[in-house]
A = this chain, B = another copy of it.
Amino acid sequence: MGNTHRVKQTDSAMVLLSGGQDSTTCLYWAIRRYGYENVSAIGFDYGQRHIGELQCAQTICDGLGVHFDVLALPVVNTITENALTRAEIPVDIVSAISTKPKDDGNNPPSVPPNTLVEGRNLLFLTYAAIYAKSRGIKILVTGVSQTDFSGYPDCRDIFIKSTNVTLNLGFDYPFVIETPLMWLDKAQVWDLARELGVLDVIKEKTLTCYNGIPGEGCGKCPACELRRRGYEGFMRSQNK
């Protein structure tokens, strides 16, 4: 998965956790890799449409005994206009469910989906870095995926690698950003959950739905559509 450095007994990790499928799978991945006692999580309340995600994250962390901090970032909502944080703006369904860039596939499309919160991943990683360094934690785990990139430039591997360099220079500290899902598609993320023995937890306890319904969700919004398609792909691969 591109993260091949040897794990030391003393390594500890902070997972950027939203309570959705991807980041929750990363939480279990980090626990398998570093052990419960060396994993903590951080979430961000930026006025997102599906705030119930954070409640899912809290419930999961409570059950695991994993420390979970939620940082309120209301300012993100005041400075950008997008459908993910402004209830009055309808989600652009066509662009949100597109799982591939709309142009030749090598470059981000010129018009990203309107669920994009510009700069979001950089803000989240920077705040996580502040927290992590203050606690002596070097490893940051995030569930971004270039495969499901959908026009979000800040989900690309090259952006994450550049951010890693920038953080290490800015904090004079050897952060390691780990991205276990970077090259997985949605079906493969379900398969990773199976491999980690948490398929049911991910299916039932996480929230992806734009209408705030955990597990299988409303079944109608773009996020539910994406999640369902991924699960179907996973099931097909299991039956082969």
Q: Which of A's residues lie within 8 Å of B, judged by CB? A: 71-73, 75, 79-81, 108, 112, 118-119, 121-123, 126-127, 129-131, 133-134, 153-154, 156, 158-159, 162-163, 165-167, 169-172
Q: How often does this chain occur in the complex, in copies?
A: 2
What residues on B are CB-neighbors of A163 within 8 Å? 166, 170
Contact, CB under 8 Å: A170 / B72: no
What residues on B are CB-neighbors of A80 within 8 Å? 130, 134
Q: Quick one: given A79-B130, A79-B134, A131-B79, are A121 and B153 in contact (CB under 8 Å)?
A: no
Contact, CB under 8 Å: B159 / A166: yes
Contact, CB under 8 Å: B79 / A127: yes
Which listed residue, B73, B119, B153, B165, touches A129 by the CB 8 Å rule?
Answer: B119
What residues on B are CB-neighbors of A159 within 8 Å? 166, 169-170
Q: Quick one: given A73-B75, A75-B71, A80-B134, are A119 and B158 in contact (CB under 8 Å)?
A: no
What residues on B are CB-neighbors of A166 within 8 Å? 122, 159, 162-163, 165-166
Contact, CB under 8 Å: B158 / A122: no
CA distance A80 to B130 in the complex (A): 7
CA distance A129 to B167 in the complex (A): 17
CA distance A133 to B122 in the complex (A): 15
What is the minimal beta-carbon distance from A82 to any residue of chain B, in angstroms? 10
